[in-house]
Structure formats: structure tokens, C-alpha cells
Amino acid sequence: MSVLEIRDLHVSVGDGDDAKEILRGVDLTIRSGETHAIMGPNGSGKSTLAYSIAGHPKYTVTSGSVTLDGEDVLAMSVDERARAGLFLAMQYPVEVPGVSVSNFLRTAATAVKGEAPKLRTWVKDVKTEMAGLEMDAAFAERNVNEGFSGGEKKRHEILQMRLLKPKIAVLDETDSGLDVDALRVVSEGVNRTREDSDLGVLLITHYTRILRYIKPDFVHVFIAGRFVEEGGPELADKLESEGYAAYVKDSADVAAAEAAAS
Amino acid sequence: MSAPHDTGTDDQTTLTTDSAALAGELFAPGVGAQAGPPTTPAAGTGTAGEATPGAHSHGGPTPTGSPAERFTSPDPDAFGDPTGREEDWRFTPMRRIRPLLQGAASDAHLQWDTDLPDGVELTAVEADDPLIKGLPEPVDRLAALTRQRSGGAAVVRVPAEAKLDRPVTLRLTGTGSEDVVWGQVVVEVGAFAEATVVLDHSGSARYSGGVSVLAGDGAQVTLVSVQDWAPGSVHAGQYDTVVGRDASVSQVVVTLGGDLVRLVSNVAYAGPGGSAELYGVYFADETQHQEHRLWVDHSVPQCRSNVLYKGALQGEEAHTVWVGDVRIRPAAVGTETYELNRNLVLTDGARADSVPNLEIETGEIVGAGHASATGRFDDEQLFYLCSRGIDAETARRLVVRGFFADVVQRIGIPELQDRLMGTVEARLGQLPGLAEQPVEA
């Protein structure tokens, strides 16, 4: 049983006078086996939350805390966070020219498990997982994310999640840019993981579409750097029909007031 | 400086000459200035020569004129003795190249070990052979001296329509002689033949060698030139490629060893439909000077060229130079060209010069572009790898290894690729801090 706790998290980008606060007091608790959907309009800071949890150097935590089973995540390096059991499926996975998928996966698995996985079972595991995500075997010999289609990149992200077996996975707009087939395959990969492990999922999305495939336990509405509403799956239905307009209007008023005051 | 070329291709032309901009081009926008490796090049790195910012060489002395023709001659004295101030020589440490420039005629040879597949012929021709007279002319004094003193050429002939079952390999090994070795190799590939030719240079030598590849119509040729010289070696050479009609030529240059290596690669097209891929990797250590100059002359319609050169530098006074000139003449409609040079500066005290030049004299082209970037590691790549639990040192090794493998894997000869990557690994092993963890094969 693992718990990721985020308390009053404030995060900015930029230095000195150019610093801009993106997260303005985020509170969230994710337990093993739970799936939380975070929904919000573009520019609300959803991805900043994802990257801040993973430790991207672009973002500066100015106050608040993030702990995983009581351990201070913010004090960990990026790789330590991954080894502690956090995983970030990225919205825009990065190309690494000249590094093959198979080499990358094995290096990552070795790092996360603390020892090199036995070659025979490893090769079998990779093949099985790739088949489950409807990925061609030749995929393993390609360079990481190089020339991958949008769907291939996201399958590759979920493949990594399957193989690295994190405690908590943050899926940052994994549904964006996917056609229906790819969305189904990727969602099934996530659902399999929820069934065969007690993975906690933080599902960040702009659209309700993916929630038809991955049923969340909790839905949070994220506007202008903080949560403005929480509920069950029914909240997603409300967003589906009404959109973010009501929330955005409120927050626009707030932002305007803040801008006038500063 | 002429008016910007008005060809509708500006958006693809991404020359940057300011060092900060160069780093910015390598790294994703908005990243950097936080934890992790520095994202700005070390002092003295990432220069783009002495070009002024934004100095495209499009056009010529007047807005409507063509650039001056490049001077060529078989006569060394037609060039005068270089001083180091000439455009062609300004990056070259003259003191270290003088042993070649002032070298006497000699009978010194490299040791040749050859592997010739069936049907391939290796012969020698004299200096007065029509083949020699018909080669592209030398472009500088050293190349002219080489043509003159080599006294002929070794000729590799691949007959028309031949399809070789393995690469032609010429292992050229320096024997440690103080005398300059003057050489000329000609690779003649007949129409519609498919051939790969490997020039594998090693040992210790002072070598000035010309290489001419003549690819017949429809031929598919790969020339690989490996410079894996022992320390102290000096190697200069003019590499000419003449691409026949609808032929496709790929050149892979791998420069790892030697004290000074200076290669000038020229490409010309003998007919429409030709394609040239120029790949290069170089890895300069302490005090090594590695200079690669490219000149692609699009003078006929419907040809394409693609240049990808990647280099890494480590150690005090490691110096690399890449100059990529591409000219698209008025007749060369339908041209498609792109050139890219990336330099990865691994330690302080190294210097990478990168100068892309694009001259476009017709608007009727498919595309033309170039990019150059010099900097430290790409933070986004490192973040991606580290976010999978891989520690920063291992991540850096993976990235550097991949940086080279990206080009090396285009050779298409697994044994050679493995050997070259092994050499790269060994060299990286010397880098403090990168050595701590082995990378999984």
C-alpha cells in the first residue's frame, strides 16, 4: 500500500523577475489502487504538476511538500524518484537518437530493479508486453521515440510503465493525439495494470474521451494552478456536457482581480 | 552581403552563428539554467568561425551576381603557399600541417591489405592516364601537391551492374615513416552497380591522400573512410565524389585518431536525379585537430544532398572544424538539400567551429536548409532517461553513445560498426565521471 501526498504545492518557472507561479497551492492524496482523473483547460498547469512530481529541472518548487510513503520526494533526484516508484508517462516523449528501445528498456529496468533482469525472462516479458500493446517486435530495434507516430510514442510510454512496475503512475495527456484504436490499446494497457497490480494512477487529461475507457475513482477539476472541484465519475459527465466555462470564468475574474492588485 | 534569398525556403534555413543561440537550438526551448549540466557552451566553444551573426553567404558580392568560382588547379604553384590567413586554411594549425605542405616527394607507402570481392579489380594507373586527367581538380595547394607527387593512382573498379557480396576493404596502415606518404585512390563504379568500399586508415603516418569516387549512372555506392590513426599522425585529403545520373552515393567519414586530420569532401553531379548522403562523425580528444570541409555543388536539375555530421570533443585544446558549403546553381532546379552539424562539448577547454554556407541561385527548388548546433548535453534527453530511473552518469553515456551510433549505424557493416562503437566507448571511458557505470549492451 503506497500513498503519494501532495500538500500546498507551489511551483514557478523562470528566474528572478521573470518567475511565474504556475501551481498555486495543490493538495492531493493518491493511494494504491486508486485512479484519479485531473481535468482542466489548456494552460491550467496540469502538465506542470506532472513534471514537478517527476522533478523536471525547469520547475522550481517554492513551497509545499510531496511525499511517497512518507519519504520526501522533493529531496530526491529525478532518477531516485523513478526508483522510489514514481512514473511519468509524458505527453511529448523525447527522441534519443542512436539508443535502441531494447537497450533503453533494459537499462531502465536494471536501474529500477537494482540488478539486471535475467535475459531470458526479460526478453519474454518485453515480447509479451509489446504484443499486449499491439506493437511490432521490430519496434525494439528502433531508436527511442525517433520517427515514432503519436500512437507509437504513447504505447512506448505505457510499455515502460508495464515493465518498470511503478507504485504511482502519472499519465500526462496520454490520450492526446491518439486515434480511437490507439486510445483503446493504451487504455487497455493501463487497465490491465490496474487489475494485476495495485498501481495508483494520476490521469491528466483535457478531454473526457479517455474516461470512457479508464474509469476514474475520483475526478478533480484543475483551473489556474489549483483544484477547484472534486467529485466522483459523475463530475466527468458534467464536464462533458458543460465544459470548463463556468470554472474558467470564475478564475478569470480572480486572475483579473489579482493582476489589478499587483 | 546580398539580400536574403527569396526562394520561399527561408523557414527551413536555420543557421545560427551566435553561440548562445547555438546552444538554444540544441536544447528545447525554456529548458536549462537549473539543476543538471550547463546548457551554455563553455568559453571558447560553439563559435561559428568569424562569421558575423546571421552571416549567410547567399548571393555574392552584388545582389544580382554569382559568387566567385572556386579556384581549382592541378598545379600546386597556382595556389601559392598558404599562410593560414586564407579562408580555406584559417582554422588549420599551420605549424602542424606544414610537415605535409613542405614534405618532399617520397617513395613511402602505407601498408595495403585488401579484401576484394569477386569481380572487383585493383589496378594502378600512371599520372598521364586519361582517368587521372579527368578527375575533379585539386582545390588547394596540398591537394595539388598530392595529385602531382602520388605519380598516378590505385584504381578500384567495380564493373557495371555488379552487385558485390561484401564490401571492398582497403586497410591502409601507416608504418611510422617520417616521410610523407602521397597517395591517390580512385574508385570507379560502373553503371547500376551496387558497392560499398571501406578505406580503413590506422597506424602512424604523415599521409596526404586524394580519394575520387566516380559513380556511374544508376549506381549505388557507399564509401566509408575511417581515420583511426595512432597519436601523432597527420592526415590530409581531398575526397571527390562524382554522382552519375540517378546514382546514389553515401559517404561515411569517421575520424577518431591522429594528431591532425583535415579532409575536404567535394560532391559534383554528372547528371540529373543523383543523390548524395554525406555522413560524418568525429571525436576529438586533448590537442587533436579534426577538420572536415564539405562542398556540394548542385549544378544539374533534380538532385539531392543530405549532410549529417556529428562530433564530440573532450579535453584541453581539442578542436574540431566543420565547414559545409552547398551551392545551388541557376540550372539546378528541383534541388533538395539539407545539412546539419551537431557538436557535443563534453569538457571545458575544447573548441568546435561550425560554419554552414548555402548559396541559392534559383528559386525553383524543392527545399534547402541547414542547421548547426554546438553545446552540452540535451537536458530533455537526460530528463527522459533519468525519469526512468537511470542515473545521470549512465544517462549521459547513453546519450553520447547514441549520438555517435546515430551516424555509425548508417555504415551498414555490423562488424565495423561494433569496432567503431567499441573505440568510442573506450574513449568515453577516459572521461572522468562518465566512467563509473558500464552501459548495458
| Domain carrying residue A76 | 3-92+167-261
The confidence score (pLDDT) of residue B379 equals 87
**Helix, strand, or coil (residue B344):** strand
Cβ–Cβ < 8 Å for B394, A107: yes
Kindly tell me if the per-residue pLDDT of B28 is higher than 60. no
How would residue B61 be classed by pLDDT, with cut points 50, 70 and 90?
Answer: very low
Q: What is the dihedral of CA B95, B324, B248, B69, to 10 degrees?
A: -90
Asked if A94 lies within 8 A of B384 by C-beta distance, the reply is yes
The confidence score (pLDDT) of residue A245 equals 85
- Residue B271, min C-alpha distance to chain A (Å): 32
Q: How far is Cα B255 from Cα B239, in angstroms, rounded to an integer?
A: 14
Kindly tell me if the per-residue pLDDT of A124 is higher than 50. yes
Phi-psi bin for B410: left (phi > 0), alpha (psi -120 to 50), beta?
A: alpha
Cβ–Cβ < 8 Å for A122, A105: no
Q: How far is Cα B439 from Cα B441, in angstroms, rounded to an integer?
A: 6
Which residues 152-171 of chain A have a CB within 8 Å of chain B? Answer: 160, 164
Q: How far is Cα B244 from Cα B187, in angstroms, rounded to an integer?
A: 13
pLDDT digits (tens, 9 = 90+) for B318-363: 999 999 999 999 999 999 999 999 999 988 899 999 999 999 999 9
A134 in a domain, yes or no?
A: no
Cβ–Cβ < 8 Å for B221, B247: yes
Q: How far is Cα B14 from Cα A262, in angstroms, rounded to an integer?
A: 40
What is the residue-averaged pLDDT of chain A? 93
How would residue A99 be classed by pLDDT, with cut points 50, 70 and 90?
Answer: very high
Q: Which residues of A touch B31 (CB under 8 A)?
A: 57-58
Nearest chain B Cα to A60, which residue? B34
Residue of B203, B249, B243 lying closest to B226 (CA atoms):
B203
Q: How far is Cα A38 from Cα A206, in angstroms, rounded to an integer?
A: 8
Q: How far is Cα A100 from Cα A121, in angstroms, rounded to an integer?
A: 19
Cβ–Cβ < 8 Å for B114, B170: yes
Q: Is the dihedral of CA B117, B119, B125, B130 positive or negative?
A: negative
Range with lowest mean pLDDT among B81-85, B320-324, B382-386, B432-436 = B432-436
Q: Residue holding cell 498555486? A: A24
Q: Is the dihedral of CA A15, A21, A24, A27 positive or negative?
A: negative
Element (H, E) at A125: helix A119-132
Cβ–Cβ < 8 Å for B417, B409: yes
> Could you tell me where the beta strands, DSSP code E, fall in A86-216?
86-89, 96-100, 143-144, 168-172, 200-205
Across the strands, what pairs with B357?
B325
- Residue A234, min C-alpha distance to chain B (Å): 33
Nearest chain A Cα to B377, which residue? A96
Select the residue of B36, B384, B401 nearest A57 (Cβ to Cβ).
B36
How would residue B365 be classed by pLDDT, with cut points 50, 70 and 90?
Answer: very high
Cβ–Cβ < 8 Å for B194, B166: no
The confidence score (pLDDT) of residue A56 equals 96
| Type of residue found at B282 | Y
A249 in a domain, yes or no?
A: yes
pLDDT digits (tens, 9 = 90+) for A180-204: 999 999 999 999 999 999 999 999 9
The confidence score (pLDDT) of residue A171 equals 97
A172 in a domain, yes or no?
A: yes
ipTM value for the complex: 0.94
Cβ–Cβ < 8 Å for B182, B147: no
Looking at per-residue pLDDT, the higher value among B408 and B55 belongs to B408
A194 in a domain, yes or no?
A: yes
A125 in a domain, yes or no?
A: no
Q: How far is Cα A10 from Cα A26, in angstroms, rounded to an integer?
A: 7
A230 in a domain, yes or no?
A: yes
Cβ–Cβ < 8 Å for B237, B255: no
Average pLDDT over residues B310-315: 93
B96 touches chain A (CB under 8 A): no
Asked if B402 lies within 8 A of A90 by C-beta distance, the reply is no
What is the residue-averaged pLDDT of chain B? 85
Select the residue of B32, B33, B388 nearest A82 (Cβ to Cβ).
B388
Average pLDDT over residues B410-418: 95
A252 in a domain, yes or no?
A: yes
A111 in a domain, yes or no?
A: no
Query: What is the strand order of the sheet A59-68 is part of?
Result: A20-31, A3-13, A59-68, A71-72
In this structure, which long-range contacts are made by residues B50-55, counting pairs with CB atoms below 8 Å and at least 24 apart in sequence?
A: B50/B90, B51/B17, B51/B355, B52/B17, B53/B17, B53/B18, B54/B15, B54/B17, B55/B1, B55/B17
| Type of residue found at B356 | P
The confidence score (pLDDT) of residue B72 equals 95
Question: How far, in Å, are B74, B86, B90, B149, B382 from residue B101 at the CA level?
Answer: 15, 15, 15, 12, 44
Average pLDDT over residues A62-72: 97
Cβ–Cβ < 8 Å for B106, B182: yes
Q: What is the DSSP string of A2-61?
A: -EEEEEEEEEEESSGGG-EEEEEEEEEEEETT-EEEEE--TTSSHHHHHHHHHT-TTEEE
Question: Looking at residue A49, which CATH number applies to its domain?
Answer: 3.40.50.300
The grid coordinates of residue B158 equal 567495380
Q: How far is Cα B410 from Cα A181, in angstroms, rounded to an integer?
A: 33
- Residue A227, min C-alpha distance to chain B (Å): 25
Q: Residue holding cell 477547484? A: A228
Range with lowest mean pLDDT among A44-53, A234-243, B421-430 = B421-430
Average pLDDT over residues B33-54: 35
Element (H, E) at B180: strand B168-189
How would residue B23 be classed by pLDDT, with cut points 50, 70 and 90?
Answer: very low
Q: How far is Cα B246 from Cα B48, in angstroms, rounded to an integer?
A: 34
pLDDT digits (tens, 9 = 90+) for A2-37: 999 999 999 999 888 889 999 999 999 999 999 999
B213: CB partners within 8 A, 6+ apart: B186, B187, B189, B197, B221, B223, B239, B240, B241, B242, B249, B251
Select the residue of B389, B404, B440 nearest A103 (Cβ to Cβ).
B440
Average pLDDT over residues A141-161: 95
The confidence score (pLDDT) of residue B58 equals 43
Q: Which residues of A touch B395 (CB under 8 A)?
A: 79
Q: How many domains does chain A have?
A: 1
pLDDT digits (tens, 9 = 90+) for B248-274: 999 999 999 999 999 999 999 999 999
A147 touches chain B (CB under 8 A): no
The grid coordinates of residue A84 equal 522510489
**C-alpha A180, offset from chain centre:** 20
Average pLDDT over residues B43-64: 39
Looking at per-residue pLDDT, the higher value among A105 and B41 belongs to A105
Q: Which residues of A touch B408 (CB under 8 A)?
A: 98
A197 touches chain B (CB under 8 A): no
pLDDT digits (tens, 9 = 90+) for B287-302: 999 999 999 999 999 9
Select the residue of B32, B403, B440 nearest A106 (Cβ to Cβ).
B440
